Structure 1
């Protein structure tokens, strides 16, 4: 089975090892986008194995390594060591959290000049847990979420953690915004402004780091997932 699976035109995905947080085991996923100049945009990188590095190198040269929020930083250093010439992009809040990592650029609202016209982005602000940068890969029609949408396989949780996961909306028939993230949106006006930009994208698919990708009726799915915020 291929390490990197094609997810659309010029976009590939790879699964990584489960990551444990407070005893909850999260499946992980990253994406690689090939830009118009042939260089690669690596989103939310998972653990870098020899096989993953070989598969990535076969697609092009890594030019951008992107952490989408301040919670996704575990494997950044090893990717930067492997690709020292790549630009390491920090989301809001991560520079302070990981002072040991030398970031090269900061993510903000609106696309970087390096990928403008190919990948759009917006920062979902107003959340006490993290400010997540949501991306949209235009040519494949893919919206990339990190932690704001999740769907943990039920078999990964048991006992009281299964109850917590159910109450938090982490397990369900489709990915959803965990309840803890909903509560943490203390500035809903800012969040709604960002959401309107997300909903305006001509989405065809929705990809997330922890959950089953949505490959049909993406606009309807996004409206359902964020109906609690849009109303």
Structure 2
């Protein structure tokens, strides 16, 4: 097994069913804060039949065809300030899809330089395209570190990006393992990494209220971008991951 395979959740870059109308795509590894970590996209088929992609991962023709066998790819979601790098590749192959961005993303210098087109900004309320199916919540931290959380009502699934990370130590190298542990992002009860918590704590009261709303949704499972996601016991495991904010 290659070093990359040891980090990633195999098989990569293919649909994995989670619940009716809900899939994940494991990919990577990618480099984040000096660590090689797995990364994950979430796909939802809306009642309209349209496919909604959260935090698009590396593009491949095979994956696009797999998704389009469900229905046309209509929505590309860049849910926080770090998870947008692959959006342009998907845009070029899915020209009719609308790209949605977390507030503040379009003004960031690397985004402007990349030339990626961000069609519409998200906010605290879901647009008509998925209202009634996906609830959403703006988590607005300091320094422009924002994230949109989504709740898939039909399956009781909370969809996050970096607000929880749960990296498994045995999937990290000898250098990365202690760094991830120091950042507080290791399984079985990983949290948002230290730099993310620092930014969120700049607006702690508002972020705490957002966290309480996520718990009020009572998710059965919690999907996020990096590490072992919570496939059961979602509410209690989420509460544990939010201890830095709630305790």
> What TM-score, normalized by structure 2, do the two folds share?
0.88
- Cα deviation, residue 127, structure 1: 3.6
Question: For 1:209, what is the secondary structure of its paired residue?
Answer: coil
Q: Equivalences for 1:114-153 in 2 at 5 Å?
A: 114-128=129-143, 130-153=145-168
Q: 2:240 aligns with which of 210, 220, 224?
A: 224
Query: Unpaired runs of 5+ in structure 2?
Result: 1-10
Q: Does 1:167 align with 2:167?
A: no
Bigger Cα displacement from structure 2, 203-212 vs 192-201: 192-201
CA distance in 2, matches of 1:156, 1:205: 22
Question: For 1:59, what is the secondary structure of its paired residue?
Answer: coil
Question: For 1:128, what is the secondary structure of its paired residue?
Answer: helix
- Cα deviation, residue 129, structure 1: 6.3
Structure 1 vs Structure 2 CA RMSD: 1.7
Residue-pair matches, total: 231
Q: Please name the residue that 1:204 is paired with.
A: 220
> What TM-score, normalized by structure 1, do the two folds share?
0.94
Question: For 1:85, what is the secondary structure of its paired residue?
Answer: coil
Q: 1:95 aligns with which of 76, 82, 106?
A: 106
Q: Equivalences for 1:1-231 in 2 at 5 Å?
A: 3-97=14-108, 98-99=111-112, 100-128=115-143, 130-184=145-199, 185-231=201-247
Q: Structure 2 vs 1, CA of residues 59 and 175 (structure 1 numbering), >3 Å: closer, same or farther?
A: farther
CA distance in 1, matches of 2:203, 2:28: 34
Question: For 2:117, what is the secondary structure of its paired residue?
Answer: coil
CA distance in 2, matches of 1:15, 1:101: 23
Deviations 1:102-150 (A, max 9, x none): 2111111011111000001101112436201111011011101101111
Runs (4 or more) in structure 1 with deviation over 6 Å come to none
Query: Unpaired runs of 5+ in structure 1?
Result: none
